[in-house]
Amino acid sequence: MHYYTQGLDPVLLKNVNTPAKAHKADAVPSVTTILSWMPNDYLDNVWKPKMMVELARKYDELDADKIKELMWGIKRCPRSGEMVSSSTFGTRAHAKMEQLVDGYIDDEMLMMYDPYNEICEEAFEYIINEPFTPLHTELTVGSSKLKTAGTIDLLALDRKENYCLIDYKFRECEGGEGKYYDKDLAQLAVEAYMIAELYVLDYIPDIYTFCIDTLSGDLHVKKWSDKMKTKGEKIFMAEYNRYWESPLLGNKNY
């Protein structure tokens, strides 16, 4: 769980990682923290318990937190050759994308070769060769109206010089198609709303999910339609209300 200070310029509170600590610090949950409570009957009641049991039997020396991390899969790290959790792989690949795009924004010479370049190269080339002008990576944004905050992978300008948001997802893709989920949509939709509030825009920025194949580095781009953006906002607000009404999470009156 991640929590931030409130307002348009939020700061991540690294020592606040539970609802109880957040109450004491008067902190707000991240967009992804709110969406992490989004129910999924099959995942919650079938797939997760099954995977936890199987992994616990296979790795009996690991504690529950490590088992949960492995539950989402393991991948071979191109840098070390070791098998790492999907979340660790994603964190390292995100960091490489940030490094590449920041170097382009700052007009700096790219760092020496890194094996993660092969995973990120196509996405990076797409960004700089397509009609995008990168502005900020890992931009933290909050809201004066909503009690939440989030971090945007890339804020850019499009061909019309309108703001747009790009979110990277590193996933194994099958059949030459990307994988996209309602949580991807909801996260980007509310962050686009917060960008519109921050910059006092008369439009909601376009949103893109870049699904990057962790095996090949192939890039699959999804631009969400205005209709889907509205759906994403509704999904987020449903989970937002669920969070703040729950006595176990956001509601301090219980």
pLDDT tens-digit readout, 107-164: 876 666 788 898 999 999 999 988 899 999 999 999 989 999 999 999 999 999 999 9
Q: What's the whole-model pTM score?
A: 0.86
pLDDT for 254 equals 41
Query: Confidence class of residue 205 from pLDDT cuts 50, 70 and 90?
Result: very high
Q: Which of 226, 249, 39, 15 shows the shortest CA–CA distance to 148?
A: 249
Ordered domains of the chain (ranges, CATH): 3-38+72-245 (3.90.320)
d(CA 254, CA 90): 37
Residue 22 in contact with residue 6, Cβ under 8 Å? Answer: no
Closest CA to 141 of 94, 181, 188: 188
Residue 140 CA to its chain's centroid (Å): 12
Least confident span in 96-100, 184-188, 200-204, 247-251: 247-251
Identify the pLDDT of residue 31: 95
Which distant-in-sequence residues (6+ apart) come within 8 Å of 121 by Cβ? 217
For residue 145, the Cα-to-chain-centroid distance in whole angstroms is 21
> Given this model, what pLDDT does residue 146 score?
93
Which of these ranges, 44-58, 101-115, 152-166, has the smallest mean pLDDT?
44-58
For 25-32, what is the mean pLDDT? 93
